Amino acid sequence: MRKEKQLTPNLFPDAFLYTVDQNLRDAGCTVEMVKQFFFLQDKGKKDEQLELLFRHRKGLLEQIHRGEKQIDCLDYLIYQIQHNP
């Protein structure tokens, strides 16, 4: 598995940009998404930045919903096993 290079604070002249970078990574954004976000930042394309973030948020939420459905299936099976001889 290829280890992706982490950006370090000294690559950012502005502490805010470093914080944004770290926040994007903590949110599960890929290196490519982070690069795209900053490319859009440099071009002043705020609407496209927001679209990128909303798409990622939607994907995370879909993962949560799939996980909830799987938990519901397990809960149903557990209930059935516990309440049927």
Q: State the pLDDT confidence band at 1, using cuts at 50, 70 and 90.
A: very low
pLDDT tens, position by position, 71-83: 999 999 999 999 9
In a domain, 4, yes or no: no
Predicted model pTM: 0.74
In a domain, 1, yes or no: no
pLDDT at 2: 45
The domain total for the chain is: 1
pLDDT tens, position by position, 8-56: 555 666 888 889 999 999 999 999 999 999 999 999 999 999 999 999 9
pLDDT mean over 58-62: 98
Where b means 16+ CB within 10 Å and e means fewer, 21-39 reads: beebbeeebeeebbeebbe
In a domain, 23, yes or no: yes
In a domain, 27, yes or no: yes
In a domain, 56, yes or no: yes
Distance, in Å, from the CA atom of 51 to the CA atom of 35, rounded to the nearest integer, reads 15
